[in-house]
Amino acid sequence: MHNRIALITGVTGQDGAYLCQLLLNKGYVVHGVVRRSSHAGVFDHRLKWLGINDDVILHDGNLLDLSSLARIVQEVRPDEVYNLAAQSFVTASWQQPLLTGQITGLGAVNLLECVRTLKPDARYYQASSSEMFGLIQEQVQSESTPFYPRSPYGVAKLYAHWMTINYRESFKLHASNGILFNHESPLRGVEFVTRKVTDGVARIKLGLAKELRLGNIDAKRDWGHAKDYTRAMWMMLQQDKPDDFVIATGRTTTVRDMCEIAFRHVGLVSQDHLIIDEKLFRPAEVEVLLGNPAKAEAAFGWKAEISLETMIQEMVEADLKRLGSKS
């Protein structure tokens, strides 16, 4: 029996890196699709952070280029395909709505089409998002909660989500959607609010900055750790039947309280350094997200294991280490 083969788009992102680590530990041969950019040399820094950059086989490709995806799927012949690539920064999706739609929405269909025509027995995972719930229609969001996206990113994710269901039902693909709520880690990009906070707190603690500027700190999010959430991705594809699952902690916390956890960890008071900047508010805000992961727990025993407090402390320590090594 051959080692199982996985193909991951978005392989150099936060989730891609942790998923690679998980799959490698399970004996998979792991391939990743890499979009070449002008900052060659740092594109795989998350894989390097985890010490696995030499263990992942990288292929030049792009979700917008069907021919490159077809070439890679034909060459790799994957058993499992994980589509984690997207223009995933919500704020940027208002400035780049067409690009967001092409990459996050149509790009997923390019990959689905390659799987359908070239490797239809492969199991496919689509990274859906809690941003699809947007203007929440229920206080706690589950798989049956109506969607109401509030950003171009959320709309694009919803298109990819429904196309995954359509391909599953039309062509009998083993294609599952993971409706993941916010998940963070030391590998999160600094443009995302949790990492912006932990990086800012570390800078203030080290004397490199005096203030942290944020937008709406009363927004509530259901935050988990990316390690827990990539474990859920793998578990979904091990099920006999494909389906859609909410992956969340079931706990919601304000940005304000998350900041207090980070500042408290380094012995600082958040009110002394936190500045509210109205320029950082979104055109249409998602005020509250709170997921119900009961279906995933019942189906395959998944539940979040790493607490918000532990995660934020880990992120602060990682940023202190990063910044301290530069000084």
Residue 188 DSSP class: S
Predicted TM-score (pTM) of the model is: 0.93
Is 296 contained in some domain? no
Give the N- to C-terminal CA distance of the chain in Å, as an integer. Answer: 51
Is 66 contained in some domain? yes
* Packed helices 107-118 and 152-171: angle between N→C axes, nearest 10 degrees: 20
Confidence band, pLDDT 50/70/90 cuts, at residue 39: very low
Confidence band, pLDDT 50/70/90 cuts, at residue 38: very low
- CATH number of the domain within which 103 lies: 3.40.50.720
Is 270 contained in some domain? yes
Range name among 38-42, 124-128, 186-190, 266-270 with the lowest pLDDT average? 38-42
Confidence band, pLDDT 50/70/90 cuts, at residue 193: very high
Residue 159: closest CA among 131, 119, 138 = 131
Is 297 contained in some domain? no
Looking at the fold, whether 65 and 165 belong to one and the same domain comes out as: yes
- CATH number of the domain within which 316 lies: 3.90.25.10
User: What average pLDDT does the chain have?
Assistant: 93
In total, how many domains does the chain have? 2
Q: What is the mean pLDDT of residues 123-135?
A: 96
Question: What does the pLDDT read at residue 92?
Answer: 83
Residue 287 and residue 218: Cα distance in Å, rounded? 8
Q: What is the mean pLDDT of residues 283-305?
A: 91
Range of the structural domain that residue 315 is part of: 189-221+252-287+306-326
Give CA 161 to chain center in angstroms: 14
pLDDT digits (tens, 9 = 90+) for 265-290: 999 999 899 888 777 676 766 678 99
Residue 68: closest CA among 36, 92, 104 = 36
Looking at the fold, whether 164 and 129 belong to one and the same domain comes out as: yes
pLDDT digits (tens, 9 = 90+) for 201-219: 999 999 999 999 998 899 9
Looking at the fold, whether 213 and 265 belong to one and the same domain comes out as: yes
Contacting residues for 118 by C-beta, under 8 A, at least 6 apart: 70, 73, 74
Question: What does the pLDDT read at residue 150?
Answer: 92
